[in-house]
Amino acid sequence: MSRNTEKVFNCEKELTLSIIGGKWKMIIMWHLGKEGTKRFSQLKALIPDITQRMLTTQLRELEEDGIVDRVVYPVVPPKVEYSLTTRGQSLIPILDLMYEWGKEYIAESGQAVTIRNVPEAK
């Protein structure tokens, strides 16, 4: 973790969860990993329930932790693109396993669960 304050963790799993945990980070990583480089507005469209402030915060934290790369182009109007770093790409197999686990859980648990489809990025 590259955030300025030193943090103490009980184990590596706790460290990992602190980097990728939360409601939005894995969803952001999933879209960047599966669909490639995106601009802020494209990510916002793919994750309609996230606020602009929260998306900004989550992207900044993922960037600070070396998971997401942010490229600013020197044009007017400003153009910023986000993509996964090599370290971020290494998390995609884990996210794939979590996705499959979730599908199996829904099928086997008998719980009523609704999975919303989100719009395609443009």
Q: Tens digit of pLDDT for each residue in 79-99?
A: 999 999 999 999 999 999 998
Burial status of residue 97 (CB atoms within 10 A of its CB: 0-12, 13-18, 19 or more): exposed
Q: What are 47-81's pLDDT values in tens digits?
A: 999 999 999 999 999 999 999 999 999 999 999 99
Q: Under a CB-based contact definition with an 8 Å cutoff, are residues 70 and 82 in contact?
A: yes
CA separation (Å) from 4 to 64, 68, 100? 10, 18, 35
